């Protein structure tokens, strides 16, 4: 016998937007991040912006930039659209997430227009929130993304504006595109950045100021996985990681290089390997190695970070 799926009114669970809905969202940022492919870390609630206040301010742990979250228990309106744009500009956010029970066609088109006419330094996300239950079970939340940046269009526009890429940058873009596809197919890492023509590819570890930064160096024929620690986090986090060195290296299955450039303010923990990268026939092996170790780094360091912050 099958159960009956039915929709639940949002205000049956969250009576008040400010006192019930916003706090729940702040405690469940992981679900929001999963819906749009970002790893979010809570920063603060009700952040003052002139005479107004942003519902939630979070950080994208992959970029360490601010993300504004504005929420409604009702359908979208012009007031909240204006607030989203205002908060994004004043707080210099890299993303705005607008959550509502229903998006009008006009407001969806407004978000689509903003995404099509702004740079890749800012993204606008519209998320419709719903509650569903089977028979008399506990209601479950479903986040439906109704608007988000069109990455392919943005990349094409940027390349057109910048002109033709150099051979090195073309190679970097091609390598990271294949690498991202490999990771995506593995299903092991849920939030992956857009490939760019640069020598690094970052992966969030769930903590702002610390991330996994993979490298692709054609001059040295070397690729690597490295944990990158911003200088403001070094005093707290490098000693902590070093205290877990045996556990970390056991989980990853390799000896790592710890702080290879002691004079640098930012610190790294690395694992590298040489491949003949000028020959693209070697890329499959290189990508397999880097993807495998990226997953190990991600799982190991994310767990250890979570243990410290729990």
Among residues 229, 231, 226, which one has the least CA distance to residue 215?
Answer: 226
| Per-residue model confidence as pLDDT tens digits over 273-297 | 999 998 999 999 999 999 999 999 9
* Mean pLDDT score of the chain: 90
Find tokens 């959550």 and name the residue.
99
Q: Is the pLDDT of residue 158 over 70?
A: no
Domain residues of the chain, as ranges? 5-153, 164-309
Beta-bridge partners for 182: none
Going from the C-alpha of 82 to that of each of 59, 70, 85, 89, 125, the distances in angstroms are: 21, 11, 5, 11, 14
Q: Cβ distance 209 to 64 under 8 Å?
A: yes
Q: Is the pLDDT of residue 162 over 60?
A: no
**Beta-strand runs (E) in the chain:** 5-8, 40-49, 52-60, 65-71, 95-100, 123-134, 140-147, 200-207, 210-217, 222-229, 257-258, 267-274
The gap from C-alpha 151 to its chain's centroid, in whole angstroms, comes to: 14
Going from the C-alpha of 299 to that of each of 129, 235, 294, 304, 306, the distances in angstroms are: 29, 23, 9, 9, 11
Among residues 266, 253, 251, which one has the least CA distance to residue 300?
Answer: 251
Question: Given 3.30.1460, 3.30.70, 1.10.246, 3.40.50, which CATH number is that of 164-309?
Answer: 3.30.1460
* Exposure string for 254-277, b = 16+ CB within 10 A, e = fewer: eebebeeeeeeeebbbbbbeebeb
pLDDT of residue 140: 94
Q: Is the pLDDT of residue 31 over 60?
A: yes
Among residues 268, 203, 258, 272, which one has the least CA distance to residue 233?
Answer: 268
| Per-residue model confidence as pLDDT tens digits over 214-252 | 999 999 999 999 999 988 889 999 999 999 999 999 999
Tokens, residue 209: 């100021």
Considering the chain, what percentage of its residues have pLDDT values greater than 90? 67
> pTM, whole model, 2 decimals?
0.74
Q: Is the pLDDT of residue 155 over 70?
A: no
Q: pLDDT category, 152, cuts 50, 70, 90?
A: low
Report the sign of the C-alpha dihedral through residues 100, 108, 31, 207, in that order. Answer: negative
Q: Cβ distance 10 to 19 under 8 Å?
A: no
CATH class of 5-153: alpha beta
């Amino acid at each position: 016998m099958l159960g009956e799926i039915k929709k639940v009114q949002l205000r049956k669970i969250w009576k008040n937007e400010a006192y019930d809905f916003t706090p729940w969202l702040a405690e469940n940022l992981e679900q929001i991040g999963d819906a749009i492919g970002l790893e979010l870390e809570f920063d603060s609630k009700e952040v003052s912006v002139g005479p107004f206040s942003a519902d939630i301010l979070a950080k994208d742990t992959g970029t360490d930039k601010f993300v504004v979250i504005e929420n409604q228990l009702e359908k979208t309106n012009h007031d909240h659209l204006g607030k989203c744009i205002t908060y994004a500009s004043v707080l210099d956010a890299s993303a705005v997430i607008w959550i509502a029970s229903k998006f009008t066609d006009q407001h969806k088109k407004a978000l689509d227009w903003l995404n099509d006419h702004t740079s890749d330094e800012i993204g606008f996300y519209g998320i419709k929130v719903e509650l569903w239950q089977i028979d008399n079970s506990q209601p479950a939340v479903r986040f439906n993304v109704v608007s988000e940046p069109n990455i392919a269009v943005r990349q094409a526009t940027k390349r057109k504006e910048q002109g033709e890429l150099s051979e090195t940058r073309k190679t970097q873009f091609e390598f990271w595109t294949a690498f991202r596809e490999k990771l995506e197919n593995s299903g092991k890492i849920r939030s992956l950045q857009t490939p760019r023509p640069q020598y690094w590819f970052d992966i969030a570890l769930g903590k702002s100021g610390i991330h996994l930064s993979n490298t692709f160096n054609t001059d040295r024929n070397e690729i690597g996985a490295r944990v990158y620690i911003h200088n403001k986090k070094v005093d707290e986090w490098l000693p902590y990681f070093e205290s877990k060195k045996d556990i970390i290296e056991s989980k990853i299955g390799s000896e790592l290089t710890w702080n290879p450039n002691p004079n640098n303010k930012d610190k790294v923990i690395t694992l590298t390997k040489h491949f003949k990268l000028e020959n693209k026939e070697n890329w499959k092996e290189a990508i397999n190695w880097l993807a495998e170790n990226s997953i190990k780094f991600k799982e190991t360091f994310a767990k250890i970070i979570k243990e410290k912050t729990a």
